[in-house]
Amino acid sequence: MKRFPSIRKNSEFQKIYKSGTSYANRLLVMYVKRSENPDTRIGISVSKKVGNSVVRHRITRLIREIFRLHRLETDSGLDIIVVARPAAKDSDYQKMESAYMHLCGLHNIRKEPK
């Protein structure tokens, strides 16, 4: 089984935070940086301010699933970090998906439909 393409190392997170571009909305903050790797990778950060471990893991699973379902609609060769804001704990899948796609549009990483 193929591993999920994620950003795991703290040094990679710090590099993207410093040199990537960021946009935010009410639920999420997204940092994007072009990489040499042809695959798009995602890093998810949910702090303790958002909620307890059950809430944080639920939000992480939601963001990971949204990324998985919309991976073909976004450009390749990117490193993306998604940071959840405290308002995300009260939102459902549709609101999270809408917030994620809104940020993808702001970063201009959505592929044009053919």
pLDDT (tens digit per residue) in 67-84 = 999 999 999 999 999 999
Assigned domain for 1 exists:
no
Assigned domain for 22 exists:
yes
CB 16 within 8 A of CB 79: yes
Assigned domain for 99 exists:
yes
**Residue 63: per-residue pLDDT:** 97
**Residue 51: per-residue pLDDT:** 95
The β-bridge partners of 6 are 42
Assigned domain for 2 exists:
no
User: DSSP secondary-structure letter at 48?
Assistant: T
Count of structural domains, the chain? 1
Assigned domain for 80 exists:
yes
Assigned domain for 102 exists:
yes
Domain that holds residue 20: 10-106
Assigned domain for 5 exists:
no
Note the Cα 25 to chain centre separation in Å: 13
Using DSSP, state whether 61 is helix, strand or coil. helix
Q: How far apart are CA 54 and CA 57, in angstroms?
A: 5
Q: Is 60 exceeded by the pLDDT of residue 7?
A: yes
Residues with Cβ within 8 Å of 64's Cβ and at least 6 positions away in sequence, in order, are 4, 42, 44
- Proportion of the chain above pLDDT 90, given as a percent: 87
Q: What is the CATH number of the domain that holds 76?
A: 3.30.230.10
Assigned domain for 3 exists:
no
CB 30 within 8 A of CB 81: yes
Helix axes 53-69, 93-106, angle to 10 degrees: 60
Q: pLDDT category, 113, cuts 50, 70, 90?
A: low
